[in-house]
Amino acid sequence: MPTELKLDLQIPNLSARDYFDIVLADGSKCLLEFHANVNNDPNAAITKWADGKRTVSFKMPVNAPAFVKSMIGADSVDVKEEVSIAWHGSSSFELTSTPCLSFPGANKFVTSGTTTVSDAPGGCLVEVTMRATAQLPWPMQGSVEGVMVAEAKGTVTRFLNFARDACENELNNRAAAASGAAGDAGMAAAAATTRNAARLSRTESGEAFHDAVEDEAELEAAGEAAAAATGAGA
């Protein structure tokens, strides 16, 4: 009987599409940084999505009791995680993950997971379900499956926290960029207003000067006419 684990996480101010773009999209460094900084594997590799599938290769430490390590025969194992994605409209998607471990007898230890990410009020909801099966004699089966689930819980919890931090950092960067763009736009608008005011001032000054010249010419003409009239009367 497989042992099952469920975890969930809500991230505010984020859509399911945002989560995919930040954490899972081709070109995202989130998974590689997680394996390098948290899983202590700087050599993890991720293929690009192709037909809704990709492979994540990494080395995983075996944090398990001695009797489990003795069955595995190593302190760490190479893992190839086969991942597939299915979108349900534009507001939710489901990831299916099957890690394939590399050690003798690994086919007896099977872990699979499903992650659903969907839009939720105020943000997005990430729901993870993990299942572990150990093909071993009873009662050893239950004990080993319990260890497998505990290990999966630790890994998934660390990853969800890492993904949440990555999303929050990206949201902060976007807000800062938007604030900077708004500030630049405000400065540009203020500069444009100043230029327009200067143009208006020059235009108004020019018109006033032009009118003053016209008034002076009219006065001179009137004076000359008056002098001529006086001379004619004499």
Q: Which residues contact 179 (CB under 8 A, 6 or more apart)?
A: none
Q: CA nearest 159: which of 37, 14, 18?
A: 37
Residue 93 lies in a domain: yes
Residue 195 lies in a domain: no
What are the pLDDT digits (tens) for 155-167?
999 999 999 999 9
Residue 193 lies in a domain: no
For range 184-192, the mean pLDDT: 61
- Domain of residue 53 covers 3-182
For range 113-125, the mean pLDDT: 97
Residue 122 lies in a domain: yes
Residue 74 lies in a domain: yes
What are the pLDDT digits (tens) for 24-67?
999 999 999 999 999 899 999 999 999 999 999 999 887 766 77
Q: Report which of residues 143 and 10 the model is more confident about.
A: 10
From first CA to last CA, the distance across the chain in angstroms is 135
For range 147-152, the mean pLDDT: 87
Give the model's pLDDT for residue 201: 54
With cut-offs at 50, 70 and 90, classify the pLDDT of residue 188: low
Of all residues in the chain, the percent with pLDDT exceeding 90 is 50
How many Å apart are CA 152 and CA 132, to the nearest integer?
A: 9
Give the model's pLDDT for residue 182: 65
How many Å apart are CA 109 and CA 177, to the nearest integer?
A: 47
What are the pLDDT digits (tens) for 125-141?
999 999 998 888 877 88
Residue 100's CATH number: 3.30.530.20
- For the chain, the maximum distance between any two Cα atoms, rounded to a whole number of angstroms, is 143
How many Å apart are CA 10 and CA 8, to the nearest integer?
A: 7
Residue 229 lies in a domain: no
> How many domains is the chain partitioned into structurally?
1
Residue 143 lies in a domain: yes
Residue 114 lies in a domain: yes
Give the model's pLDDT for residue 229: 45
pLDDT beyond 80 at 202: no
Give the model's pLDDT for residue 196: 61
